[in-house]
């Protein structure tokens, strides 16, 4: 099969290159617009109670989230000044005229002192929008323009405004990461290949893979939502895999040329051996990324889809366009050489000597390395997980400043904009006597929960009122109530549905607040009431539960597909198990480092961030999928050469030494280049993108050095010939399938081209 692919790539080389040019042009014209069709957010479980509360608040009560928060005034103004009040009210009236505005709460419409700063110099208004996330974002420019035009100083924040800023920052960071990575990679590739022509090939395949995937994502986005954060995955994996695949294939091509093969035969040999390795590697990476589809969060699903697509596409171009380019270049692959190549066909004695040194003391080396990796992983046992909030932006970002201003309690009552929202369905009209009794009892229980500051509801307007007092009050028609009470009742009730707003003493994503939200959910409501608990804390609890629920399925899928892929590649049931154990060791160490850096706040100055005391929930899940796939990438590269030597010699120790000799520099070079790519993402101003970049870079560095250089040789030495063992029926099945046999392998006739 792969020999045929190599021959076709040679015969149809000009068609393949023309197709690549068309894809590049289409990518620049159409794919580059992908960010405009992708959505922000996507961190919540769409089937959770908290998301249902969010949706029903809009549908049943016409209340959106705190989409835009406008803080009016500064320390020199006064909310009681007539000119100030008139200007703010006029501005908000103009905002309310926008069809996307569902509701505006302000001091001047509600009389709530919670919306006024302690010194009465500032006030804030909460603007709720209706429609989808995209529709809300489309409405932002016009609304922001009106708010900015106010004669009173104004600062803007809020959920939708924040994530619109995050999306803009992601695009900026992505462009900067691409430019930075490409610039550094161009220099390093010249050092690695020693030739300007050869160094250019990984960037061609990388750019082609990224543009192709962006076309695919934009097309898919016409039918379903795709998170904008998937683009980070596409760039990271697109560059990383293209570099890996180009390195292994070009190095093999050069090696075959050095043996005296003509360019066409060398290409067929390259595709038959290294190309097969690339194919198995791509399957392993794609499988890891597809495991993210088991999680309900759009963020993770989009990252998984983008990663799987770019892995498949990188394999496709590596097996077609790369051989086509080599067919045109021939021996000119080494043209414009400016230095001796870092990777050479004959390999490196250093890596062979290292493997031999390790295999003379496998228990000692393997044990010490395992202990070090386990020790590095221990900090992850105390990990704190959170959802993104405005603190994902840099300290100078306006949405973050507004968030902290309203959260900290220095100028405004704390946590007013991030309450627990309890949406309650009552047996009859929510203001009927029976419903009032049930609601009054339920609110009393909520008020007794530790950490609850107060409950705003139709049965807690006056602390001195009893349930009977409220029944008397609501015996009147709503339009005959005090205007302030009538406005509150109208806003928080609709037939059998009412909203209880629970203001907490702690920040909504703190452990104390999460405990309070959980305790509210645990309350057994009076018979007849059907409550749903939402708000930021509840959303984090739901997201955690969704990850915990989906994790076993995702891990099982990744493990099974990885096991099958490695078995098909090597005909062994031992190799896949050993590979997965080693991957877990390197991942655990990387997770421990993440906690030390981002949760504990180490290296804040160097990495330019401020710790929020937690890791974003999606980061370990995504890092696991990416790193697990990339680790398998290196595993397949190394084991392919070891298996090739073992089939030739039958000597386990010799084959391990030669395999590491042949691949040590390639894997190290690939890892170094990939660390540069992921390190570029560590420059992001979005903290969870920075966490993704650092976590992935650390894991790759560990995997390509400690794992491949020390732990693999030790384990291979200890297992001996059992490395390649499989039960008789499975071994016979593998032989029958023939997918793992090297085409044109050792001892066979040299492949014919043409």
Question: CATH number, domain at 529?
Answer: 3.30.70
CA distance between the termini of the chain: 14
CA-wise closest residue to 309 among 239, 214, 207: 214
- Residue 608 confidence (pLDDT): 83
- Residue 341 confidence (pLDDT): 57
CB–CB of 625/288 below 8 Å? yes
- Residue 265 confidence (pLDDT): 92
Question: 3-state DSSP call for residue 420?
Answer: strand
Find all residues with CB under 8 Å of 347, minimum gap 6, and list them: 658, 661, 662, 663, 664, 665
Q: Per the domain annotation, does 410 fall within a domain?
A: no
Residues 449, 355: one domain?
A: no
Dihedral angle at the C-alpha atoms of 638, 641, 645, 646, nearest 10 degrees?
Answer: 50
- Residue 748 confidence (pLDDT): 41
H/E element holding 452? strand 452-456
Q: Per the domain annotation, does 441 fall within a domain?
A: yes
- Residue 741 confidence (pLDDT): 53
- Positive or negative, the CA dihedral 124, 130, 133, 137 is negative
Find all residues with CB under 8 Å of 421, minimum gap 6, and list them: 53, 57, 499, 500, 501, 502, 533, 534, 535, 538
Question: How far is the C-alpha of 715 from the C-alpha of 684, rounded, in Å?
Answer: 38
- Residue 646 confidence (pLDDT): 85
Residues 151, 298: one domain?
A: no
pLDDT along the chain (754 residues), means of 10: 84 91 92 83 86 88 84 92 94 93 88 90 91 82 94 92 85 81 83 82 90 94 88 85 86 85 91 87 88 92 93 94 92 72 62 88 93 95 88 85 87 87 94 94 95 93 92 89 86 92 89 93 94 92 93 91 86 90 90 94 86 88 85 80 85 87 81 83 85 89 86 90 89 79 44 44
Question: How far is the C-alpha of 51 from the C-alpha of 693, rounded, in Å?
Answer: 29
Residues 108, 88: one domain?
A: yes
Residues 251, 352: one domain?
A: yes
- Positive or negative, the CA dihedral 226, 312, 638, 256 is negative
User: How many independent structural domains does the chain possess?
Assistant: 3
- Residue 746 confidence (pLDDT): 44
Question: How far is the C-alpha of 338 from the C-alpha of 198, rounded, in Å?
Answer: 11
Question: How far is the C-alpha of 36 from the C-alpha of 39, rounded, in Å?
Answer: 8
> Pick from 141, 159, 177: which residue ends a domain?
159
Q: Per the domain annotation, does 625 fall within a domain?
A: yes
Question: How far is the C-alpha of 745 from the C-alpha of 645, rounded, in Å?
Answer: 10
- Residue 336 confidence (pLDDT): 67
Q: Give the side-chain half-sphere CA count within 13 A for 80.
A: 5
Q: Kind of pairing, strands 420-425 and 154-157?
A: unpaired
Question: How far is the C-alpha of 653 from the C-alpha of 360, rounded, in Å?
Answer: 10
In terms of phi and psi (left: phi > 0; alpha: psi -120 to 50; beta: otherwise), the region of 719 is alpha
Provide DSSP, 689-743.
HHHHHHHHHHHHHHIIIIIIIIIHHHHHHHHGGGGG---HHHHHHHHHH-TTSPT
Residues 475, 350: one domain?
A: no
- Residue 641 confidence (pLDDT): 82
Q: Per the domain annotation, does 75 fall within a domain?
A: yes
* Length of the chain in terms of residues written: 754
Residues 142, 188: one domain?
A: no
Q: Per the domain annotation, does 56 fall within a domain?
A: no
> Pick from 490, 518, 534: which residue ends a domain?
534
The pTM score is 0.80
Residues 434, 508: one domain?
A: yes
Cβ-in-10-Å burial (0-12, 13-18, 19+) of 364 comes to: exposed
Residues 296, 206: one domain?
A: yes
Question: CATH number, domain at 81?
Answer: 3.30.70.1430
H/E element holding 578? helix 574-594
Question: How far is the C-alpha of 591 from the C-alpha of 586, rounded, in Å?
Answer: 9
Question: CATH number, domain at 233?
Answer: 1.20.1640.10
CA-wise closest residue to 97 among 156, 62, 143, 149: 143
H/E element holding 493? strand 493-494
Residues 565, 710: one domain?
A: yes
CA 324 to chain centre: 34
Q: Per the domain annotation, does 60 fall within a domain?
A: no
Contacts 24+ apart (CB under 8 A), 646-650: 646/724, 647/742, 647/745, 647/746, 648/746, 648/747
Q: Kind of pairing, strands 615-616 and 493-494?
A: unpaired
Residues 623, 652: one domain?
A: yes
Domain that holds residue 154: 66-159
- Residue 753 confidence (pLDDT): 46
CB–CB of 236/677 below 8 Å? yes
- Residue 651 confidence (pLDDT): 87
CA-wise closest residue to 190 among 346, 339, 344, 347: 339
Count the neighbouring beta carbons within 10 Å of the beta carbon of residue 247: 26
- Residue 49 confidence (pLDDT): 93
CB–CB of 625/307 below 8 Å? yes
Residues 505, 548: one domain?
A: no
Q: Please report, for residues 20, 171, 210, 220, 419, the alpha-carbon distance to residue 216 in angstroms, rounded to integers and kept in the order given.
A: 15, 18, 10, 6, 40
Q: Per the domain annotation, does 742 fall within a domain?
A: no
- Residue 339 confidence (pLDDT): 59
Q: Per the domain annotation, does 88 fall within a domain?
A: yes
Residues 547, 456: one domain?
A: no
> Pick from 159, 182, 197: which residue ends a domain?
159
CA-wise closest residue to 280 among 310, 315, 309: 315
The DSSP call for residue 195 is B
CB–CB of 656/717 below 8 Å? yes
- Residue 84 confidence (pLDDT): 95
């Amino acid at each position: 099969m792969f020999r045929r692919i190599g021959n076709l790539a040679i015969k149809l080389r000009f068609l393949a290159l023309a197709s690549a040019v068309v894809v590049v042009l289409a990518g620049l014209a159409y794919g580059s617009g992908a960010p405009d069709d992708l959505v922000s957010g996507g961190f919540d479980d769409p089937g959770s109670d908290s998301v249902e509360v969010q949706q029903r608040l809009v549908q049943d009560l016409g209340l959106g989230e705190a989409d835009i928060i406008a803080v009016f005034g500064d320390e020199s103004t006064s909310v009681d000044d007539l000119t100030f009040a008139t200007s703010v009210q006029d501005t908000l009236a103009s905002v309310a005229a926008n069809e996307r505005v569902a509701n505006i709460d302000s001091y001047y419409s509600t009389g709530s002192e919670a919306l006024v700063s302690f010194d009465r110099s500032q006030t804030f208004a909460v603007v709720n929008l209706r429609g989808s996330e995209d529709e809300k974002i489309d409405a932002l420019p016009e609304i922001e323009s009106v708010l900015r035009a106010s004669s009173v100083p104004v600062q803007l924040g809020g959920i939708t405004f924040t994530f619109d800023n995050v999306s803009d920052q992601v695009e900026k960071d992505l462009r900067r990461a691409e430019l930075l990575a490409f610039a550094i990679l161009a220099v390093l590739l010249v050092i690695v290949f020693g030739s300007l022509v050869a160094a250019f090939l990984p960037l061609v395949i990388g750019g082609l893979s990224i543009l192709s995937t962006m076309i695919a994502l934009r097309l898919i986005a016409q039918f379903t939502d795709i998170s904008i954060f998937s683009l980070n995955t596409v760039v990271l994996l697109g560059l990383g895999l293209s570099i890996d695949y180009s390195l292994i294939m070009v190095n093999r091509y050069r090696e075959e040329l050095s043996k005296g093969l003509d360019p066409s035969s060398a290409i067929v040999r390259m595709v038959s051996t290294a190309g097969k390795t690339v194919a198995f590697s791509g399957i392993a990476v794609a499988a890891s990324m597809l495991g993210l589809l088991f999680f309900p969060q759009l963020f993770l699903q989009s990252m998984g889809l983008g990663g799987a697509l770019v892995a498949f596409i990188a394999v496709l171009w590596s097996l077609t366009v790369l051989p086509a380019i080599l067919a045109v270049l021939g021996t000119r692959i080494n043209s414009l050489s400016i230095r001796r190549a870092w990777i050479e066909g004959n390999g490196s004695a250093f890596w062979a000597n290292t493997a031999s040194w390790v295999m003379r003391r496998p228990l000692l080396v393997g044990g010490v390395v395992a202990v070090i990796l386990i020790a590095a992983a221990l900090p992850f046992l105390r990990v704190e997980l959170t959802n993104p909030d405005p603190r994902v932006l840099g300290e100078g970002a306006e949405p973050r400043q507004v968030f902290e201003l309203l959260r900290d309690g220095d100028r405004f009552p704390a946590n007013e904009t991030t309450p627990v929202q309890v949406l309650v369905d009552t047996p009859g009209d929510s203001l009927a006597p029976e419903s009032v009794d049930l609601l009054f009892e339920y609110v009393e229980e909520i008020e007794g929960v530790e950490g609850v500051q107060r409950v705003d509801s139709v049965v807690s307007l006056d602390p001195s009122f009893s349930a009977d007092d409220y029944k008397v009050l609501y015996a009147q028609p709503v339009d005959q109530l005090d205007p302030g009470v009538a406005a509150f009742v109208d806003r928080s009730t609709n037939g059998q549905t009412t909203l209880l707003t629970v203001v907490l003493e702690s920040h909504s994503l703190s452990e104390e607040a999460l405990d309070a939200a959980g305790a509210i959910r645990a309350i057994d409501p009076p018979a007849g009431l059907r409550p749903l608990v939402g708000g930021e804390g509840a959303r984090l609890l739901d997201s955690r539960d969704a990850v915990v629920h989906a994790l076993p399925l995702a891990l099982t899928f990744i493990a099974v597909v990885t096991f099958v892929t490695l078995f098909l590649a090597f005909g062994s049931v031992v190799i896949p198990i050993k590979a997965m154990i080693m991957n877990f060791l390197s991942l655990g160490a990387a997770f421990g480092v993440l906690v030390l850096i981002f949760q504990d706040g180490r290296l804040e100055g160097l990495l330019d961030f401020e710790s929020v005391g937690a890791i974003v929930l999606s980061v370990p899940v995504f890092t696991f999928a990416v790193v697990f796939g990339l680790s398998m990438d290196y595993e397949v590269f190394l084991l392919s050469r070891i298996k090739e030597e073992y089939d030739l010699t039958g000597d386990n120790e010799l084959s391990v030494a030669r395999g590491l000799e042949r691949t040590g520099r390639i894997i190290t070079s690939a890892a170094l280049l990939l660390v540069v790519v992921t390190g570029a993402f560590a420059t992001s101003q979005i903290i969870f993108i920075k966490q993704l970049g650092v976590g992935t870079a650390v894991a790759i560095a560990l995997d390509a050095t400690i794992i491949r250089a020390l732990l693999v040789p030790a384990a291979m030495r200890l297992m001996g010939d059992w490395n390649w063992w499989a039960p008789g029926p499975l071994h016979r099945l593998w032989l029958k399938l023939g997918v793992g046999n090297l085409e044109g392998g050792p001892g066979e006739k040299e492949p014919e081209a043409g």
